[in-house]
Amino acid sequence: SSSKLPYGVRAKNHPNILVRKLFAIAEAKKTNVTVSADVTTTKELLDLADQLGPYIAVLKTHIDILSDFSPETTTGLKHLAQKHNFLIFEDRKFIDIGNTVQKQYHGGALRISEWSHIINCAILPGEGIVQALTQTATADDFPYGNERGLLILAEMTSKGSLAKGEYTTRSVDYARRYKKFVMGFVCNRALTEEQSTETSKSEDEDFVVFTTGVNLASAGDALGQQYQTPQSAVARGADFIISGRGIYAAPDPVEAVKRYQEQGWNAYLERVGL
């Protein structure tokens, strides 16, 4: 399966231009780390992005938790993404009818399509949510064309998560149906062998796996979060490991991100046999 192939090979063969760019960044910077920058002021967010930028492939945001969000927030993020060569992933988890999510994604107060390369959605509403977001991002008048992608939230890390079974299988079905915009999944393992009666794996299929809930110092939190190490996440199929508090809440976030980078990268090298 594709998880045994080096990022560079996957970059070369991939039909999706944003995925090619993502793998090229990983290869160039030798990192598969996504930092989840869940801080609550613009200054903290931009400082973190500037400090950690050299060691990460992707910066994940929750833009709605900032107490002082303004256009300067996203201008600053875009500038730092260029300076340090990382992608931005707004973890908005769209979850509504198609007509609503189109307006939440493109335009609105947050103008997410303008500054976030990667977004995600849950499929509780059914296939229509994926269809609607794909329609917006592939329209002739969509200004950011090939530089945007969608991850389907196929599983969750929290205790008692209901994102399993048929929900997860459907996530894979919809990804296969809307490959033009869907680049992969947020999930806890490789889903490449997942089959339903409706869709089956195609030969050229190469979805990207982002795994969250990665932490070297803790097994979980008091609110149901469950953690694993970079090593175990990558061994189970993560192409990119997402860590928040393990990095930004460490005494020295730069020292911490370097540790996650090294462990995530070594686990990747081991998985692909390099």
Residues annotated as part of the active site? 91, 93, 96
C-alpha dist (Å) from residue 50 to 22, 59, 177, 178, 259:
19, 11, 37, 34, 18
Q: Does 36 sit near ligand S5P (CB under 6 A)?
A: yes
**Which residues inside 182-201 make contact with ligand S5P, applying CB under 6 A?**
186
Q: Which residues contact 242 (CB under 8 A, 6 or more apart)?
A: 34, 35, 36, 60, 186, 210, 211, 212, 213, 214
Q: Rounded to the nearest 10 degrees, how much is the dihedral formed by the CA atoms of 198, 202, 179, 193? A: 70
Applying CB under 6 A, the span of 12-20, 138-146, 238-246, 264-272 interacting with ligand S5P comes to 238-246
Q: Is the CB of 46 or the CB of 187 nearer to ligand S5P?
A: 187
Applying CB under 6 A, the span of 21-29, 66-74, 177-185, 239-247 interacting with ligand S5P comes to 239-247
- Quickly list DSSP for 159-227: TT----THHHHHHHHHHHHTTTTEEEEE-SS--TT---SS----TT---EEEE--B-SS-SB-TTS-B-
Cα–Cα–Cα angle for 34, 37, 40, nearest 5°? Answer: 170
Q: Does 213 sit near ligand S5P (CB under 6 A)?
A: yes
The one among 129, 156, 183, 267 contacting ligand S5P by CB under 6 A: 156
CB-neighbour burial class of residue 215 (10 A; exposed 0-12, middle 13-18, buried 19+):
buried
Q: Is the CB of 56 or the CB of 242 nearer to ligand S5P?
A: 242
For residue 213, the minimal CB distance to ligand S5P (Å) is: 5
Q: Does 168 sit near ligand S5P (CB under 6 A)?
A: no
**Which residues inside 43-62 make contact with ligand S5P, applying CB under 6 A?**
62
Q: Does 157 sit near ligand S5P (CB under 6 A)?
A: yes
For residue 234, the minimal CB distance to ligand S5P (Å) is: 16
The one among 90, 91, 173, 206 contacting ligand S5P by CB under 6 A: 91
Residue 132's nearest CA partner among 178, 169, 163, 89 is: 178
For residue 125, the minimal CB distance to ligand S5P (Å) is: 18
In the complex, the residues that contact ligand S5P under the rule CB under 6 A are 36, 38, 62, 91, 156-157, 186, 212-213, 215, 225, 242-246
